A = this chain, B = another copy of it.
Amino acid sequence: MTPDDFHLSSFLPYRLAVLSERVSRRLSVEYGRTHGLAVAEWRVMVHLLRCGAVSVRDIHNCVNLEKPRVSRAVSRLEAEGLVEKTQGEGDGRLVAISLTDAGRRALADIIPAATRIEGHLTDAVSPEDLATFFRVMERMHAVLDDDPEAKPRTVMDLDRDAKIMPSPV
Protein backbone atom coordinates (compact mmCIF):
# COMPACT_ATOMS: atom_id res chain seq x y z
CA MET A 1 0.00 0.00 0.00
CA THR A 2 1.34 3.36 -0.92
CA PRO A 3 1.17 5.86 1.92
CA ASP A 4 -1.20 8.05 -0.07
CA ASP A 5 -3.85 5.37 -0.02
CA PHE A 6 -3.87 5.17 3.72
CA HIS A 7 -7.34 5.86 5.09
CA LEU A 8 -7.74 6.59 8.72
CA SER A 9 -11.39 5.64 8.57
CA SER A 10 -10.57 2.13 7.47
CA PHE A 11 -7.66 1.71 9.82
CA LEU A 12 -8.52 -1.00 12.30
CA PRO A 13 -6.99 0.59 15.40
CA TYR A 14 -8.77 3.82 14.67
CA ARG A 15 -12.08 2.13 14.10
CA LEU A 16 -11.76 0.19 17.30
CA ALA A 17 -10.93 3.31 19.24
CA VAL A 18 -13.84 5.24 17.82
CA LEU A 19 -16.42 2.58 18.51
CA SER A 20 -15.03 1.79 21.91
CA GLU A 21 -15.02 5.39 22.96
CA ARG A 22 -18.51 5.95 21.69
CA VAL A 23 -19.85 2.95 23.55
CA SER A 24 -18.01 3.84 26.74
CA ARG A 25 -19.28 7.36 26.60
CA ARG A 26 -22.82 6.25 26.06
CA LEU A 27 -22.47 3.97 29.04
CA SER A 28 -21.03 6.58 31.35
CA VAL A 29 -23.99 8.77 30.60
CA GLU A 30 -25.94 6.01 32.27
CA TYR A 31 -24.02 5.30 35.43
CA GLY A 32 -22.67 8.80 35.66
CA ARG A 33 -26.11 10.32 35.73
CA THR A 34 -27.54 7.85 38.20
CA HIS A 35 -24.72 7.48 40.67
CA GLY A 36 -21.89 9.71 39.65
CA LEU A 37 -19.57 6.88 38.76
CA ALA A 38 -16.71 7.03 36.33
CA VAL A 39 -15.37 4.10 34.38
CA ALA A 40 -12.75 3.17 36.95
CA GLU A 41 -15.25 3.15 39.78
CA TRP A 42 -17.70 1.11 37.78
CA ARG A 43 -15.11 -1.53 37.02
CA VAL A 44 -14.00 -1.71 40.61
CA MET A 45 -17.50 -2.15 41.92
CA VAL A 46 -18.42 -4.81 39.41
CA HIS A 47 -15.30 -6.72 40.26
CA LEU A 48 -16.08 -6.52 43.95
CA LEU A 49 -19.54 -7.86 43.33
CA ARG A 50 -18.05 -10.97 41.87
CA CYS A 51 -15.01 -11.44 44.02
CA GLY A 52 -15.96 -10.14 47.44
CA ALA A 53 -13.19 -8.75 49.58
CA VAL A 54 -10.07 -8.30 47.51
CA SER A 55 -6.92 -6.25 47.49
CA VAL A 56 -6.03 -3.29 45.31
CA ARG A 57 -3.54 -5.42 43.53
CA ASP A 58 -6.16 -8.02 42.72
CA ILE A 59 -8.44 -5.41 41.22
CA HIS A 60 -5.53 -4.00 39.27
CA ASN A 61 -4.78 -7.44 37.91
CA CYS A 62 -8.32 -8.09 36.84
CA VAL A 63 -9.97 -5.01 35.44
CA ASN A 64 -7.26 -3.35 33.39
CA LEU A 65 -6.66 -0.34 35.54
CA GLU A 66 -3.32 0.98 36.71
CA LYS A 67 -2.69 0.57 40.40
CA PRO A 68 -2.88 4.27 41.30
CA ARG A 69 -6.11 4.54 39.43
CA VAL A 70 -7.58 1.67 41.40
CA SER A 71 -6.37 3.17 44.64
CA ARG A 72 -7.96 6.50 43.87
CA ALA A 73 -11.17 5.00 42.60
CA VAL A 74 -11.46 3.04 45.82
CA SER A 75 -10.89 6.19 47.84
CA ARG A 76 -13.67 7.98 46.03
CA LEU A 77 -16.03 5.04 46.41
CA GLU A 78 -15.20 4.80 50.07
CA ALA A 79 -15.91 8.48 50.52
CA GLU A 80 -19.31 7.91 48.97
CA GLY A 81 -19.99 4.94 51.18
CA LEU A 82 -20.26 2.44 48.36
CA VAL A 83 -17.21 0.48 49.40
CA GLU A 84 -15.34 -0.21 52.60
CA LYS A 85 -11.73 -0.93 53.34
CA THR A 86 -10.84 -3.23 56.20
CA GLN A 87 -7.33 -4.03 57.22
CA GLY A 88 -6.60 -7.64 56.33
CA GLU A 89 -5.83 -9.84 59.30
CA GLY A 90 -2.98 -11.77 57.75
CA ASP A 91 -0.67 -9.75 55.57
CA GLY A 92 -0.42 -6.28 57.03
CA ARG A 93 0.15 -4.72 53.66
CA LEU A 94 -3.01 -5.97 52.01
CA VAL A 95 -6.29 -4.18 52.26
CA ALA A 96 -9.60 -5.97 51.97
CA ILE A 97 -12.00 -3.97 49.85
CA SER A 98 -15.63 -4.94 49.70
CA LEU A 99 -18.99 -3.51 48.74
CA THR A 100 -21.23 -1.96 51.31
CA ASP A 101 -24.96 -2.49 51.19
CA ALA A 102 -25.30 0.89 49.59
CA GLY A 103 -22.79 -0.22 47.00
CA ARG A 104 -24.76 -3.35 46.28
CA ARG A 105 -27.93 -1.33 45.96
CA ALA A 106 -26.24 1.01 43.53
CA LEU A 107 -25.10 -1.92 41.42
CA ALA A 108 -28.54 -3.45 41.48
CA ASP A 109 -29.60 -0.19 39.94
CA ILE A 110 -26.89 0.24 37.40
CA ILE A 111 -26.26 -3.25 36.14
CA PRO A 112 -29.68 -3.69 34.57
CA ALA A 113 -29.27 -0.36 32.81
CA ALA A 114 -25.82 -1.33 31.58
CA THR A 115 -27.06 -4.70 30.44
CA ARG A 116 -29.90 -3.06 28.62
CA ILE A 117 -27.53 -0.82 26.69
CA GLU A 118 -25.32 -3.75 25.86
CA GLY A 119 -28.45 -5.55 24.71
CA HIS A 120 -29.32 -2.77 22.31
CA LEU A 121 -25.95 -3.23 20.71
CA THR A 122 -25.86 -6.99 20.58
CA ASP A 123 -29.49 -7.45 19.60
CA ALA A 124 -28.77 -5.61 16.41
CA VAL A 125 -26.64 -8.45 15.08
CA SER A 126 -27.31 -12.14 14.63
CA PRO A 127 -25.97 -14.52 17.27
CA GLU A 128 -23.64 -16.08 14.71
CA ASP A 129 -22.21 -12.75 13.71
CA LEU A 130 -21.82 -11.78 17.31
CA ALA A 131 -19.98 -15.01 18.02
CA THR A 132 -17.71 -14.32 15.08
CA PHE A 133 -17.18 -10.82 16.35
CA PHE A 134 -15.99 -12.01 19.71
CA ARG A 135 -13.92 -14.73 18.13
CA VAL A 136 -12.13 -12.17 15.99
CA MET A 137 -11.46 -10.02 19.00
CA GLU A 138 -10.01 -13.00 20.76
CA ARG A 139 -7.77 -13.74 17.77
CA MET A 140 -6.44 -10.23 17.80
CA HIS A 141 -5.72 -10.53 21.46
CA ALA A 142 -3.85 -13.72 20.71
CA VAL A 143 -1.73 -11.91 18.16
CA LEU A 144 -0.84 -9.30 20.73
CA ASP A 145 -0.09 -12.00 23.26
CA ASP A 146 2.69 -13.14 20.96
CA ASP A 147 3.98 -9.65 20.40
CA PRO A 148 6.74 -8.77 22.84
CA GLU A 149 6.09 -5.07 22.30
CA ALA A 150 2.47 -5.33 23.38
CA LYS A 151 1.37 -5.04 26.96
CA PRO A 152 0.38 -8.42 28.38
CA ARG A 153 -3.23 -9.18 28.99
CA THR A 154 -4.60 -9.33 32.48
CA VAL A 155 -5.23 -12.73 33.97
CA MET A 156 -8.95 -12.28 33.96
CA ASP A 157 -9.05 -11.30 30.33
CA LEU A 158 -6.94 -14.28 29.46
CA ASP A 159 -8.95 -16.98 31.19
CA ARG A 160 -12.37 -15.61 30.76
CA ASP A 161 -13.91 -18.82 32.00
CA ALA A 162 -11.36 -19.62 34.61
CA LYS A 163 -12.61 -19.84 38.11
CA ILE A 164 -12.14 -16.54 39.82
CA MET A 165 -9.71 -16.93 42.63
CA PRO A 166 -8.92 -13.65 44.24
CA SER A 167 -5.59 -13.44 45.92
CA PRO A 168 -5.93 -14.31 49.60
CA VAL A 169 -6.41 -11.32 51.74
Write the residues of chain A forming the contact surface with B, with a CB cutoff of 8 angstroms: 1, 3-4, 6-27, 29-30, 39, 43, 46-47, 49-50, 62-64, 107-108, 111-112, 114-115, 117-118, 120-122, 124-125, 129-130, 132-137, 139-144, 147, 149-151, 153, 156-157, 160
With a cutoff of 8 Å between Cβ atoms, the chain B residues found around residue A121 in the complex are 12, 140, 143-144
Q: Which of B9, B23, B111, B143 contacts A12 (CB 8 A)?
A: B23
Closest-by-CB residue of B relative to A1 is B115
With a cutoff of 8 Å between Cβ atoms, the chain B residues found around residue A137 in the complex are 15, 19, 133
With a cutoff of 8 Å between Cβ atoms, the chain B residues found around residue A18 in the complex are 64, 153, 157
The CA-CA distance from A75 to B9 in the complex, in Å, is: 23
Task: Tell me whether A153 and B22 are in contact in the complex, defined as CB-CB below 8 angstroms, given that A3-B108, A111-B6 are known contacts.
Answer: yes
With a cutoff of 8 Å between Cβ atoms, the chain B residues found around residue A50 in the complex are 4, 6-8
B8:A46 contact, CB within 8 angstroms: yes
Q: Which of B12, B22, B47, B156 contacts A141 (CB 8 A)?
A: B22
Shortest CB distance A25–B (Å): 6
Task: Tell me whether A23 and B125 are in contact in the complex, defined as CB-CB below 8 angstroms, given that A13-B118, A47-B8, A133-B133 are known contacts.
Answer: no
With a cutoff of 8 Å between Cβ atoms, the chain B residues found around residue A19 in the complex are 16, 20, 137, 140-141
